[in-house]
Amino acid sequence: MKINSIWIPISLAVIFLVIVGSGFVGVDITMLFNLAVIAIPLALIIYLLNLGKRYVDLKMVESNTNIDIKTRIEKLNESMERIEKRIDNIEKILQKVSE
């Protein structure tokens, strides 16, 4: 199973809050609340940054795919033009032969 990079800091923050909240460090509930007020928005910001990075990466891949498709379409158009020229030449030859 692949671990997403966002879960590492969130897990560390949760573990820290549990340790502090359980009283091992000797901190009251106000300190725990203050830590939660800092940790939750920080985890949300990290998550949103990661989400934004994934979106940009996806758009880059999509852009490269679109460029590949455009290149293929251009090559197909060139092939069609060559085929049309050959057909025109064949038609000219057939007209000459029929005369």
pLDDT at site 37: 79
Q: What is the pLDDT of residue 3?
A: 56
Contact assessment for residue 32 and residue 19, using Cβ atoms and an 8 Å cutoff: no
Model pLDDT, residue 47: 81
Residue 1 lies inside a defined structural domain of this protein: no
In a domain, 86, yes or no: yes
The structural domain count of the chain equals 1
Q: Which pLDDT value is given to residue 41?
A: 82
SS3 of 31-72: the string is: HHHHHHHHHHHHHHHHHHHHHHHHHHHHHHHHHHHHHHHHHH
- Judge whether 75 lies within some domain: yes
pLDDT of 24 reads 57
Segment-wise mean pLDDT, segments of 10 residues, the chain, 99 residues: 63 71 63 75 82 86 81 90 92 86
0.75 exceeded by pTM:
no
Please report the DSSP string for 15-32 in residue order.
HHHHHHHTTSS---HHHH
Domain limits at 35? 7-98
Determine, yes or no, domain membership for 2: no
pLDDT at 4: 62
